[in-house]
Copies of this chain bind each other. A is one copy, B any other.
């Protein structure tokens, strides 16, 4: 049987999956694997979760949150655009649910792109609720949901999450703009001006030219999206560093040029706050958009 192995070894490359067929036997109190056949196997996209790290959040809940956010858009053409790009039934929507959000640094695991996108969008929605009526909530949510869509073609969804040629030569922002332009061509009733504002959100979400952003934010919504995106990526990174130590200082991180403090173990924290008495301001009407958040699963930084 070992005759199979040598030629196989010669073809091994990083990122290849090897199928092993054999039988488990017991020999003098120890278990032994009798290998009968080794061969490279093709692993379908949906089976990658068996091999690669994946998001700690439930895929079903994330799916439900995504659908709820899309359905919350009041403007039919924007909602249509989102359906065409993000629906589970589409190619892009399918990959969108599996892809990582980055090669390394933040959300570098299967489902990371969806997890990051949801979190950024939910933060944007909270901020839109907080900053009031001057903001175009639908535009902001649309841009937030699409801001990293290009990553489905920038990063390969296989071991190591290497960049694609397209990823290196164009990058996810330019790829994303192309995906949006292609999808927008089929949307009826989408005004050029609205599409332009969505494209600007995608083009400027990295905030500064030197941070590889082709544009800098020039609308209130673009300013918000940039901060929400940057905060979510940074927090995910710091939370991963912090989660890796029980308490005290994390390892030194070169990118941040510092270490971080996990200042108290979880079990030492005080008991939950008792219900607060109705305050003097409790008669005020509730804020727009808050109710919509009821359905979201709690995102816990330390689940990872």
B199:A170 contact, CB within 8 angstroms: yes
Which listed residue (B64, B169, B178, B288) contacts A181, Cβ 8 A?
A: B178
A234:B223 contact, CB within 8 angstroms: yes
A134:B212 contact, CB within 8 angstroms: no
Binary contact readout A49-79 vs B (1 if CB under 8 angstroms, 0 otherwise): 0000000000001001101100110110000
Name A261-297 residues within 8 Å CB distance of B.
261, 263-264, 266, 269-270, 272-273, 276, 279-288, 290-297
Is A93 an interface residue when CB atoms closer than 8 A count as contact?
no
In the complex, chain B residues whose CB is within 8 Å of the CB of A203: 169-171, 174
A136:B263 contact, CB within 8 angstroms: yes
How many copies of this chain are found per oligomer?
6
Specify the chain B residue showing the minimal Cβ separation from A250. Answer: B218
Which listed residue (B196, B238, B298) contacts A287, Cβ 8 A?
A: B298
Cα-based distance from A266 to B302 in the complex (angstroms): 41
B284:A136 contact, CB within 8 angstroms: no
Specify the chain B residue showing the minimal Cβ separation from A166. Answer: B196
A169:B295 contact, CB within 8 angstroms: no
Q: Given A165-B261, A181-B181, A284-B294, do A130 and B136 touch, yes or no (CB 8 Å)?
A: no
B261:A235 contact, CB within 8 angstroms: no
A220:B238 contact, CB within 8 angstroms: yes
A132:B270 contact, CB within 8 angstroms: no
Binary contact readout A146-186 vs B (1 if CB under 8 angstroms, 0 otherwise): 00000000000000000001101111011001100110000
Is A197 an interface residue when CB atoms closer than 8 A count as contact?
yes
Cα-based distance from A74 to B298 in the complex (angstroms): 21
Q: Given A174-B203, A215-B170, A218-B258, do A295 and B300 touch, yes or no (CB 8 Å)?
A: no
A64:B290 contact, CB within 8 angstroms: no
Specify the chain B residue showing the minimal Cβ separation from A297. Answer: B284
In the complex, chain B residues whose CB is within 8 Å of the CB of A238: 220, 223
In the complex, chain B residues whose CB is within 8 Å of the CB of A279: 64, 67-68, 71, 295
State which of A4-12, A33-41, A82-90, A119-127 sits at the interface with chain B: A119-127
- What is the CB-to-nearest-CB distance from A198 to chain B, in angstroms, rounded to a whole number? 10
In the complex, chain B residues whose CB is within 8 Å of the CB of A218: 168-169, 258-261
- What is the CB-to-nearest-CB distance from A67 to chain B, in angstroms, rounded to a whole number? 8
Cα-based distance from A281 to B64 in the complex (angstroms): 7
Is A29 an interface residue when CB atoms closer than 8 A count as contact?
no
B281:A134 contact, CB within 8 angstroms: no
State which of A94-102, A109-117, A224-232 sits at the interface with chain B: A224-232
Is A209 an interface residue when CB atoms closer than 8 A count as contact?
yes
- What is the CB-to-nearest-CB distance from A248 to chain B, in angstroms, rounded to a whole number? 9
Specify the chain B residue showing the minimal Cβ separation from A131. Answer: B301
